Structure 1
Amino acid sequence: MRLIDLHTHSTASDGVLSPQGLVRFAKDSGISVLAVTDHDTLEGLPTAMAEGQRIGLQVIAGVEITAHVGDLEIHILGHFIDPDDNRLVEFLASSRNDRVERARRMVEKLWGLGLPLDVTEVLSLAPGHSVGRPHVAQAMIRRGYVTSLKEAFDRYLTQGKPGYVERSRTPAALAIRAIKEAGGVPSLAHPGQYGHDEIIPSLVQQGLMGLEVYHSEHDAGSLFRYERVCLEYGLLAVGGSDYHGTEGLRSMGLGRPALPEARFEQLLAARAASQTPPVRRQTE
């Protein structure tokens, strides 16, 4: 059976491997199908897909978009998107600008805590321009304020901690629509992290097609629960490792967990059906 991982990150957002390096590492790790799903950016996709073609690894164009349902921040995965879709590119550019502003505000908060940082240093750690909290944490490690990413998050950068700054709120419906307009399949990423399964029915009404059942932070109980949710609402089951390659941040490894091949075949079938134009009746 093929080893399929549909949730990974490169240096285009907050992973540690370049897009090419991620693809090569996946090949060496026995992965057969890899989706590159960087946060709010498509910049790593052309090189990742070219490298996949060169070495014989199937690479799926993906993205992970930060969005909100009310006050709750969630992530929407998009698979099989068109990397050249101008509407999606513009949508994500706006999101990346929000990320930069958020980083600036986090740096200001840390200065107020007696932990001065240079925002240009933080931005330099995000070569793909999709800056996030891990880049702030890396800058803190460089300055000796903390010893690990986990410590930075636990003490300063998670919700309720003194360095945390909320993101601007992109409605989930807009993220779902942007993915579908780019030819992609939108799924709710790692639902077990939110603790708010009650949002799923409304997301389905807004066009959600899938649920990330298989995820590195879902235990057996979560997997069973979200399989049932998929059956109840007619959703596709997707999944992957959420690999970043960063110690303390989902470092289980590529393909852990992997998406079962039968689930991947269902995803392919649904994508093909969504792209098939409707049959028009001939009129006399």
Structure 2
Amino acid sequence: MTSEIAADLHMHTVGSDGTDTLDDRIEQARERDLEAIAITDHDRVLDELGAGSQRMSGIEVVTGVEIRADIFETKVELLGYFIDPTDAALDSVLDRARTYRRERNRRLVSELNDVTDLELSYEALQSDVRGGMGRPHLAEILLEEEYVDGIGEAFSEYLAEDGRCYVPMERIPCGEVVDAIHAAGGVASLAHPGRIRSDRIPEIVQAAVRNGVDAIETWYPYDADVEFGIEDADRLTADHDLLQTGGSDCHGRESGKFRIGTVGVSAETVEALRSASAERSE
């Protein structure tokens, strides 16, 4: 983690699968004395966010996105920073990603209904959530209905890759996602590589570099045992002259180790990302 956290560059809102609004996020950033945040909702950009970044209530809000991608038939996630959400190439990729996510979520609701006594309606859930229903919303339902004792258990028992109801999601090739982020004037960062579920993480990260990522997310809440840690990220970014990013991956105020501002980057890192985006937009 950087010595002085000025910005948290990875978080979600009700625009995708988070439980807090943009205003909530800004207020939380103020409470944590942050200078900047990046909103990186899955597959969509909030209507309130324009190209690059904007200052809101004294906080710089970087326009970002997180998109699921594929390398070697393995799920990875890419973060885009300082993007222009009106770019046609990016919009096309985001539309595909949202379609894949909707198809997965519809099947996931059906699986939950089969395994439990729940009688959930996918259409009703979709209409109740601004950015569309996601796994965190289903986890909350499982907790409220007392199928589990906590959100973590909801994922491990039902929703995560080893869970009883897990449904895989179709993914876009990594290179296509990177190209779309670049077309929108953005900087592409490989998100939390230590969480990639594979015994080929170093190869996957190297493939992401070959596909044109500009940065590696280095500072984030790590699991207990990771194959690709901070020292690995430091070495790789130095070898390939890449930037480093970081953030909490917060999905809600009550997110434990994922709470906003627990992990982040320096003001200098934000400026380096801004400069990289400006160079790409020239």
Please report the TM-score for the alignment, with normalisation by the length of structure 1.
0.87
* Residue in 1 that maps onto 2:182: 180
Distance 1:218 1:142 in 2: 26
Task: Indicate conservation of the 8 Å contact 1:67/1:74, yes or no.
Answer: yes
Measured on the aligned residues, the alpha-carbon RMSD in Å equals 2.5
Structure 2 residue aligned with 1:42: 45
> 1:209 — aligned with what?
214
Partner of residue 278, structure 2: 272
Question: Structure 1 residues 125 and 190, CA, compared in 2 at 3 Å: closer, same or farther?
Answer: farther
Paired position in structure 2 for 1:86? 88
Q: 1:124 to 1:235 in 2, by over 3 A?
A: same
Matching of residues 218-237 of structure 1 within 5 Å: 222-237=229-244
Supply the AA of the counterpart residue of 2:187: V
Say which is worse superposed, 171-180 or 198-207, in terms of deviation: 198-207
CA distance in 1 between counterparts of 2:59 and 2:15 reads 19
Unaligned runs of 5+ in 1: 277-284
Higher relative contact order (CA 8 A, sep 6+): 2
**Match of 1:201, as an amino acid?**
Q
Q: Which amino acid in 2 is paired with 1:85?
A: D
**Corresponding residue for 1:280?**
none
Unaligned runs of 5+ in 2: none
**1:193 maps onto 2:195 in alignment:** yes
> Is residue 14 of structure 2 the alignment partner of residue 11 of structure 1?
yes
Which of 222, 234, 242 is the matching residue for 2:249? 242
Does the residue aligned with 2:55 lie in a helix, a strand or coil? Answer: helix
CA distance in 2, matches of 1:96, 1:143: 28
1:194-223 Cα distance to aligned partner (Å, 9 max, x none)? 151211222222211110011122789822
Deviation at 1:103, TM superposition (A): 1.2
What CA deviation, in whole Å up to 9, does each residue of 1:231-253 have, x standing for no partner?
11221111111111264x56442
**What TM-score do the two structures reach when normalised by structure 2?**
0.87
Aligned residues: 273
Alpha-carbon distance in structure 2 between the residues aligned to 1:22 and 1:144: 29
Identity of aligned residues (%): 32
Does 2:80 correspond to 1:74?
A: no
Matches of residues 108-127 of structure 1 in structure 2 within 5 Å? 108-116=110-118, 117-127=120-130
- Asked whether the 8 Å contact 2:215–2:245 carries over to 1, the reply is yes
Q: Give the structure 2 partner of residue 282 of structure 1.
A: none
Q: Residue 257 of structure 1: SS of its match in structure 2?
A: coil
Amino acid at match of 2:211: Q
AA at the equivalent of 1:230: T
Note if contact 1:216-1:250 (Cα within 8 Å) is conserved in structure 2. no
The answer to which of 254-263 and 165-174 deviates more is 254-263
Aligned-pair distance for 1:24? Answer: 2.2
After superposition, what is the alpha-carbon deviation per residue over 1:61-83, rounded to whole angstroms, capped at 9, x for unaligned? 00000111132111000000002
- Structure 2 Cα separation of the partners of residues 271 and 214 of structure 1: 20
CA distance in 2, matches of 1:67, 1:141: 30
